[in-house]
Structure 1
Amino acid sequence: MKYQQEITIELPRNEVVEKFSNPDNMKHWQQGFIFMKPINGEPGADGSQNLLKYKMGKRQIEMTETILQNNLPTEYAATYEAKGVYNFQRNRFLETPEDYTNWISENEFRFNGFMKIFGWIMPGAFKKQTIKYMEDFKAFAEEGKSVLNE
């Protein structure tokens, strides 16, 4: 399953990328985020890996992030692997004439095992989650709103 989402953040790209690339900010815009821990390579470098942990409903999900390309401020590409789910994500940050930032997130999901059924039955859930994170990031970046306060 492939899809693309985009959102305009009313801040200059350098401010957006600074907030996006700071792991300490993830808890403010990714609902359910518990922690991120470097597990391989130099943090932030191409080829490095992080362990990410989230609480989703009553379950906890662990996934491995592998950074494929960190060309910020323009692009950040990574894979995210969890039990039954593989996600390739490319994030691009484009400057607008108004000195705002257009964030484009391209996603490709592949499913195995039980998750194949879930991915087939509910593809909209993944798209919805992506745009929710993007909207929450926009609120955090522009207004300082944190999902921790919800």
Structure 2
Amino acid sequence: MKYTTEIVVDVHRDEFIKKMDDPDNMKHWQQGLIGYEQLSASPGQEGSRMSLSYEMGSRKMDMVETIIKKELPNELHMTYDTKGVHNIQKNYFKEEGASTRWVSESEFQFSGFGMKLMGFLMPGAFKKQSLKYMQDFKAFAENGTSVLNS
């Protein structure tokens, strides 16, 4: 399953990247994030890995993020792996005057019958979640609004 989402964030790209590239900021725009742990000696670099833990309702989910391409301020590509799901995320950041256009290409590869069925029956839920994270990042970057306060 593949889809693209995009949003314009009304902050200059330099500020956008500074906020995006700081893992301590993730808790302010990724609802459900309960913690992260760097798994690599050189965090934030190509090839580095980070463990992420989320709580969504009564469901807990752990995944591993791997940075596969980092050419900031223009693009940042990662993979996310959790049980039954491999997600490839390609993010592009385009300067538009004092704003930044964030284009995110998502590809989900499912293994196991349950995850394949969920991907087939509920593709909109994945896109909706991606867009929610983008909207929450926009609110955080523009106004300092944190999901921790909601």
| Superposition TM-score, scaled by structure 2 size | 0.97
Displacement of 1:39 in angstroms is: 1.1
Give deviations 1:44-86, integer Å, cap 9, x for gaps.
1111111011001101100011110111111100100000111
Partner of 2:39: 39
Q: Distance in 2 between matches of 1:129 and 1:41?
A: 30
Partner in structure 1 of residue 62 of structure 2: 62
SS in 2 for 1:40: coil
Measure the CA separation in 2 of the matches of 1:72 and 1:52.
22
Percent of aligned pairs with the same amino acid: 53
Aligned residues: CA RMSD: 0.8
1:2 shift after superposition: 0.6
The correspondence of residues 85-96 of structure 1 with structure 2, limited to 5 A, is: 85-96=85-96
Give the aligned residue type for 2:103.
I
Which whole-Å CA distance do the structure 1 matches of 2:40 and 2:22 have between them? 18
What is the deviation of 1:131? 0.3
Match of 1:139 in 2: 139
- 1:41–1:49 Cα contact (<8 Å) kept: no
The 1-side partners of 2:62 and 2:22 are apart by 20
Q: Give the secondary-structure state (helix, strand or coil) at the position aligned to 1:116.
A: helix
Q: How many residues align?
A: 149
Q: Secondary structure at the match of 1:76?
A: strand
1:80 maps to 2:77:
no
1:100 aligns with 2:99: yes
Give the corresponding residue for 1:20. Answer: 20
Q: Which runs of 5+ in 2 are unaligned?
A: none
TM-score normalised to the size of structure 1?
0.97
Residue 112 (structure 1) aligned with residue 108 (structure 2): no
Gaps of 5+ in 1: none
Pairwise CA distance, 1:40:
2.6
Question: Match for residue 122 of structure 2?
Answer: 122
Pick closer, same or farther for the CA change 1:89–1:46 going to 2, 3 Å.
Answer: same
Q: Cα offset for 1:99? A: 2.0
Q: Answer yes or no: is the 8 Å Cα contact 1:41–1:47 preserved in 2.
A: no
Report the Cα distance in structure 2 between the residues aligned to 1:13 and 1:30, rounded to whole angstroms: 20
Letter of the 1:42 counterpart = S
Give, as a single letter, the amino acid of the residue that structure 2 aligns with 1:31. Answer: Q
Residue aligned with 1:51, SS = strand
